[in-house]
Amino acid sequence: MDETDDEPRGPVGKAFRLSAADSLSLGNALCGFLAVCVLSWSAINALQEGKPFAADPRFFGTAVVLLLIGATCDLFDGLVARKFRASAMGAELDNLADVISFGFAPAFMVVIWAGFNQQIPFLLVMTAAASVLLAGVIRLARFACVKTKSGDFMGLPIPMGAMTVVSVVLLFPPSTWTILPIFGVAYLMVSRIEYPKPKGNVAAGVLAWMMINVACLTIWVAGLAGGDTLIKVGAVMQMTIVATIPLRVLMFKREKRKEQRRASAEVG
C-alpha cells in the first residue's frame, strides 16, 4: 500500500486549515478558559491566605469582561466566515467554543458565587450550575439540527443566556431565592420560544450593547464613582431584554394570526 494513501485528502485535508473565522472561535474559547482561571484564582488566593472566601468584584468583573470579549468574537466569527472563507470544521469549532465560554464558564461562576455560602444547600448550587451547562449543551446541539421556518433562534441563544446568568450573579447576593432565576434562564435556553437573530442594525445594536457593558464593568472594577449604579442598571436591562423579547414575539405572532383570520374571512 502506498504511504500517501493514509494522508487526508479532499474535505478531510481542508479540515486541518484554520480560517480567520476559526481564529475568532478559538479566541472565544480562550476567553472562556481565562474567565474560569480568574474565578478559580480568586478562591485559591483566599484559601492560601487562610481567609474565608468572599466574591471579589475585581475578579468577577475581569471574568465578565473576558466573557464579553468572547461574545464579541462569537458575534463576528459568523460574519467573517460569510464574508471570507469558512473552514470545514468552522461550525464545530464555534459550538465547542460556545460550550466553554457560555456554558461551563457561567456555570462555574454560579458555583463561585453561591457555593461558599453556608446558608445555601450546596446541592442546590450545583444543580443550578449544572442546569446552565446542560441547557447550553442541549441548546447548541438543537441549533445544529433544527432550523425554524422564520430563521430565528429557537430558545434563548447561549451567549445571551450566559450574560443573563452573569447579570443575576452581579445584581443579587447569593441566596436560595436568587438562585431560582438561574433555573429560569436554563429553561429559556431549551424552550421553543423564538428569539430574533441579530442582523443588520440589530447586530450593530448588540455589539454596541456589549461595548457599553465592557465600559460599565471597567468603571465598576476600577472603583470609580457611579460604578455600582451602572452595573445594577446594566444587569436589570439585560434581564428585562431577555424577559420581554419572548413576550414581544408572542404578541407579534398573535397579531399576525388575527390578520390571517381577517384575510381568510374576507376571502370567504
pLDDT over 60 at 185, yes or no? yes
Distance CA 193, CA 78 (A): 23
Q: Quick check: 105 and 35 in contact, CB under 8 A?
A: yes
- What pLDDT sits at residue 167? 86
In degrees, to the nearest 5, what angle opens at C-alpha 60 toward C-alphas 93 and 215?
85
**Which residues face 153 on adjacent strands?**
195
- What pLDDT sits at residue 118? 85
Residue percentage of the chain with pLDDT more than 90: 24
- What pLDDT sits at residue 29? 94
- What pLDDT sits at residue 268? 56
The pTM (predicted TM-score) of the whole model is 0.79
Res. 10 pLDDT band, cuts 50 70 90: very low
- What pLDDT sits at residue 122? 92
Domain spans of the chain, in order of start: 12-267
Q: Quick check: 188 and 243 in contact, CB under 8 A?
A: no
What would the pLDDT profile of 189-201 be if each residue is shown by its tens digit?
998 877 777 666 6
In degrees, to the nearest 5, what angle opens at C-alpha 138 toward C-alphas 183 and 122?
35
Query: Helices 90-98 and 20-48: crossing angle, nearest 10°?
Result: 20
What would the pLDDT profile of 100-136 be if each residue is shown by its tens digit?
999 999 999 999 999 888 889 999 999 999 999 999 9
pLDDT over 50 at 1, yes or no? no
Distance CA 246, CA 210 (A): 21
What would the pLDDT profile of 56-107 be if each residue is shown by its tens digit?
777 888 888 898 888 888 877 777 766 776 667 777 888 899 999 999 999 9
In the three-class reduction of DSSP (H, G, I as helix; E, B as strand; rest coil), residue 225 is classed as coil
- What pLDDT sits at residue 77? 76
Structure-block grid coordinates of residue 27: 479566541
Distance CA 119, CA 41 (A): 23
Average pLDDT, the chain: 79
Size (the chain), residues? 268
Distance CA 228, CA 219 (A): 9
- Nearest Cα to Cα of residue 223 among 41, 52, 61: 61
